A and B are shown apart, each in its own frame.
Chain A
Amino acid sequence: MTKYLLKRLLHGLVSIVIVVAIVMVLIYSLLNRALIFSNDMTYQKQQNNAKISYSFRKWQEYGYLDYVTFADYMNGLVRKGELDAETRDEAISIGRKPENDSEITAEYVEKFTKEYESKGFTVERYNAVTSRKKLASGGQQILFAHRDRPLIQRLITYFSSIVTIDTIHYVDEGTDIGERGLTFTTHDPLYGGKKFAPAIIGNGTRHKYLMYFDNQFPFFHQNLITISLGKSYSLNNGVDVLETMLNSQGSYVTRPITFPTGLKEDSADDLHTATYTEGSREVSQVLMDRFEDDYTNVTTRKNGMSKIGYSFSIGILATCLAYLLGVPIGIFMARHKEGLVDKIGTVYIVFIMAVPSLAYIFLFKAIGGSIGLPTTFDMNSTSRLMYLLPIISLALPSAANLMKWLRRYMIDQMNSDYVKFARSGGLSENEIFFKHIFKNAAIPIVHGIPGALLGALTGAIITERVYVVPGTGDFLTRAINANDNGVIVGLTMWYALLSVVAIILGDILMAIVDPRISFTDENR
């Protein structure tokens, strides 16, 4: 069984890779790459050549291409020791036009061109843009080489950067940050060093606290292994998809904290999440007052749940409600076929199946609103009532679906021979229904349970939009509208992973419920 499941999982992972590859082709190759700047204010302010080099820099950052400027090349030569700094300074500035290049510059420009063209790069040179002999804004002449990143390389980079393990070599080796290493302490300095709280603190790592305890669920946290699905560009600049989905939202929760310098202040900062940003402390007086090192980048505590938190809590409750409603009603409908409940239930199923989901969600909203339930979600409200309508709107349609299938499966089973046999054996109708028919009819239903539970993580697009729930439901559509490639790839990968896992879990659950189903090769 384990072997079979491992095979299935591996198979699933291969299809995930292919799915990610297809999505990459869709968004990197088919879509116009200038679209990613549609919401970028910095881009719109740039002019002339500066705009060109800005867009190439961004394209490199977001994985479209490899981009090397002439200056990068020259600095690289110095680093490799093939060139001394003086020659570099002499040769690095290119002329406004190729004719104006000094002799030594021209020599290196030619070398640069030759080297990169042989690697398959395209070398481009833009002459200075001048107006009345003066440089126009952003009109500085530029010379660079670029090459579109091949799909395979992009895939490898993406998948190899999903899991990162923090090491003490994260901070650039040239930077002096004192002794690098990990320290284990039983008394976390953030609690004043008096309370017993084990922690591992790193120096030279990305995160300062690699493992620690605090008063937030699940109390033990680690930063050693970070999972990143893809960096956002326009939606949540520079932040990873998973982090965007997991970070709490709402308004800040301040409480008195003591910063490493001893400064006491009311703040929402969560000092355990400190990460390294080189040179960040010196540029800000506020950070100078608070921190003793460059581990200054902290997240804040907010009073709301994360995107996934909202989606999942609504989704899971809706799933439970759907099963609580759908299963008994479905059984009742099959048991009393052609009865009143069956007829009403069938009309309801037809309604849900045929009517556009948008229409009935608005109907639920209108009905709920007219009896006084809150129709919009407010993160700062303490009322639990606002969860009610989204949960109902999600639960009622899926209950209809459950009713439909359970009824059909049970009616199909009712005509089988084993039921006739059980009846002729003198079993009561209740016994036949619950001990025999239901057990058999429930098998395909059971298969869908893991899918329903994991599906709650992805959120519901329309429901969340209609009730303004700050969940994950509209994350993908917003990413598509904002051309946020990193988020699109990350979310696709995340959804594909969930669906692969859900199907495998469904099969396992089915095998547990039904002893006839076996995954060992001999019995299949």
Chain B
Amino acid sequence: MKSELTNVSSLGVPEQELFSLVTHSDEESEKITAPRYSYWQSVFRVFFKKKINIIILGLLAVIILFAYVYPSLISYDRYANLADAQSKHLMPLDAMQKFGFNLHWILGAGAAGDPTFDTIWVGSRISISLALICALINMTIGILLGAVWGFSKKMDAIMMEIYNIVANVPYILLISVLVLVLSASFWTMVFALTVTGWLGIAYSIRVQVIIIRDREYNLASKCLGTPITRIALRNILPFLTSFIVTLAAAEIPSYISYEVFLSYIGIGLSDMSLGKLIYEAEPAMLTNGWQFEFWSPVVVASIITVVLYVAGQNLGDASDPRTHM
């Protein structure tokens, strides 16, 4: 082992500067000298320390702006050019030649002569809204029930049975039956995706709760007479924040993907969502010169999901207190 000790006198500093007498003060010794720690402040400090996160957030802002503000600024009519045979299936350059250079035609024209760029953002608004609403509902129910599920042994037995059974009912069947019974509207879709969707989330929360439920600090808390609800809300939930954020980060894009998947197999929204757009543009993929109208919604859907996923994952990492050092 190499010695790490340094001889003080070799530093060449006068002794007064190295050591000085400090008088004892009762008042000073009462102060706690640990640096001030605020959880959410630290989360954002860690989050913004990574430069990539700023870019991702910028992209997210652009996406939200285009999906929610842009469609209300333009007057969008999908079938405005329906009668004009010359305006259908245009590549961006041809479209801009025909309609003049502006943002609407930057991705060419679709099968109905509609500006693909506008169509995509109108569709994105529906898809993103669907994903956000479903995630909100599923996460809320999932977290609340999952916490109870993890605590109560009686409920665990019942819920495990329900989970095993529901997990085996084909999801596609359930959704399509609901869509057939209730009509293929936006809120039907929300209902279909949330009626059993929370179970998976509740299950993973339950596993996490069981892991930390019996840790020493919770046992101690219980021995001191803390009520169960307080243990759940004050001792366990903060512990799970990072997990929940990471879970939400995976959930939100997954609903967009799921909507795309359902539309592709023909069980979907009647509204013009991203999935429906891809489904309708699929034949165009095989036609030379038309590929653009297929690939643009696919690429936009991918960008949206990747941005949401990465932003959420990084926020999840940042909300883990262990990274706050």
Q: Kindly specify which of A23-31, A201-209, A211-219, A222-230 makes contact with the partner chain.
A: A23-31
Determine if A350 and B306 form an interchain contact, defined as CB atoms under 8 angstroms apart.
yes
Nearest 4 Cβ contacts at the A-B interface: A354-B309, A356-B257, A496-B168, A356-B260
Taking a contact as CB atoms closer than 8 A, the residue among B169, B173, B278, B306 that contacts A480 in the complex is B173
A: interface residue count bin: 35 or more
What's the nearest-Cβ distance from chain B to residue A96, in Å?
39
A24 to B313, CA, bound (A): 40
**In the assembled complex, which residues on chain A have CB atoms less than 8 Å from the CB atom of B55?**
none
CB of B302 within 8 A of chain A? yes
CB of B261 within 8 A of chain A? yes
A328 to B164, CA, bound (A): 33
CB of A488 within 8 A of chain B? yes
Determine if A27 and B177 form an interchain contact, defined as CB atoms under 8 angstroms apart.
yes
**In the assembled complex, which residues on chain B have CB atoms less than 8 Å from the CB atom of A356?**
256-257, 260-261, 298, 301-302, 305
What's the nearest-Cβ distance from chain B to residue A11, in Å?
8
- Name the CB-closest residue of A to B182: A30
CB of B113 within 8 A of chain A? no
CB of B94 within 8 A of chain A? no
Determine if A353 and B250 form an interchain contact, defined as CB atoms under 8 angstroms apart.
yes
CB of B12 within 8 A of chain A? no
A356 to B258, CA, bound (A): 7
**In the assembled complex, which residues on chain A have CB atoms less than 8 Å from the CB atom of B305?**
354-356
Chain B residues engaging chain A, CB cutoff 8 angstroms: 161, 164-165, 167-170, 172-174, 176-177, 180-181, 250, 253, 256-257, 260-261, 264-267, 278, 285, 294, 298-299, 301-302, 305-306, 308-310, 313
Taking a contact as CB atoms closer than 8 A, the residue among A16, A35, A350, A351 that contacts B168 in the complex is A16
Determine if B261 and A477 form an interchain contact, defined as CB atoms under 8 angstroms apart.
no
A26 to B175, CA, bound (A): 11
CB of A359 within 8 A of chain B? yes
CB of A69 within 8 A of chain B? no
CB of A357 within 8 A of chain B? yes
A116 to B180, CA, bound (A): 34
Query: Interface centre among B174, B176, B266, B299, by most A CB within 10 Å?
Result: B176
Taking a contact as CB atoms closer than 8 A, the residue among A357, A492, A500 that contacts B169 in the complex is A492
**In the assembled complex, which residues on chain B have CB atoms less than 8 Å from the CB atom of A350?**
306, 309-310, 313
Determine if B310 and A354 form an interchain contact, defined as CB atoms under 8 angstroms apart.
yes
- Could you give, for residues 1-29 of chain A, a 1 whenever the CB lies within 8 Å of some chain B CB and a 0 otherwise? 00000000000000110110011001100
**In the assembled complex, which residues on chain A have CB atoms less than 8 Å from the CB atom of B278?**
358
Subset of 13 A-B contacts with CB under 8 Å:
A15-B164, A23-B170, A31-B181, A350-B313, A355-B305, A356-B298, A358-B278, A359-B299, A359-B301, A359-B302, A480-B172, A481-B266, A492-B168
**In the assembled complex, which residues on chain A have CB atoms less than 8 Å from the CB atom of B180?**
31-32, 35
**In the assembled complex, which residues on chain A have CB atoms less than 8 Å from the CB atom of B298?**
356, 358-359, 362
What's the nearest-Cβ distance from chain A to residue B277, in Å?
12
Determine if B168 and A30 form an interchain contact, defined as CB atoms under 8 angstroms apart.
no
**In the assembled complex, which residues on chain A have CB atoms less than 8 Å from the CB atom of B164?**
15
A16 to B169, CA, bound (A): 9
Q: Known pairs A15-B161, A477-B172. 9 more at Cβ < 8 A?
A: A18-B165, A19-B169, A31-B177, A32-B180, A354-B253, A356-B256, A357-B257, A362-B294, A481-B266
CB of A325 within 8 A of chain B? no
**In the assembled complex, which residues on chain A have CB atoms less than 8 Å from the CB atom of B265?**
461-462, 465, 474, 477
A496 to B173, CA, bound (A): 13
CB of A247 within 8 A of chain B? no
CB of A299 within 8 A of chain B? no
Determine if B172 and A26 form an interchain contact, defined as CB atoms under 8 angstroms apart.
no
Determine if B310 and A488 form an interchain contact, defined as CB atoms under 8 angstroms apart.
no
Determine if B173 and A476 form an interchain contact, defined as CB atoms under 8 angstroms apart.
yes
**In the assembled complex, which residues on chain B have CB atoms less than 8 Å from the CB atom of A357?**
257, 261
What's the nearest-Cβ distance from chain A to residue B281, in Å?
11
A30 to B176, CA, bound (A): 12
A15 to B161, CA, bound (A): 8
- Name the CB-closest residue of B to A489: B173
What's the nearest-Cβ distance from chain A to residue B225, in Å?
32
Taking a contact as CB atoms closer than 8 A, the residue among B165, B253, B294, B309 that contacts A19 in the complex is B165
**In the assembled complex, which residues on chain A have CB atoms less than 8 Å from the CB atom of B167?**
499
A19 to B257, CA, bound (A): 26
A26 in contact with B261 given A354-B310, A496-B168 (CB within 8 Å): no
**In the assembled complex, which residues on chain A have CB atoms less than 8 Å from the CB atom of B256?**
356
CB of A37 within 8 A of chain B? no
A32 to B173, CA, bound (A): 15
Determine if A495 and B253 form an interchain contact, defined as CB atoms under 8 angstroms apart.
no
Determine if B260 and A23 form an interchain contact, defined as CB atoms under 8 angstroms apart.
no
What's the nearest-Cβ distance from chain A to residue B62, in Å?
17
What's the nearest-Cβ distance from chain B to residue A501, in Å?
12
Determine if B168 and A499 form an interchain contact, defined as CB atoms under 8 angstroms apart.
yes
A496 to B167, CA, bound (A): 9
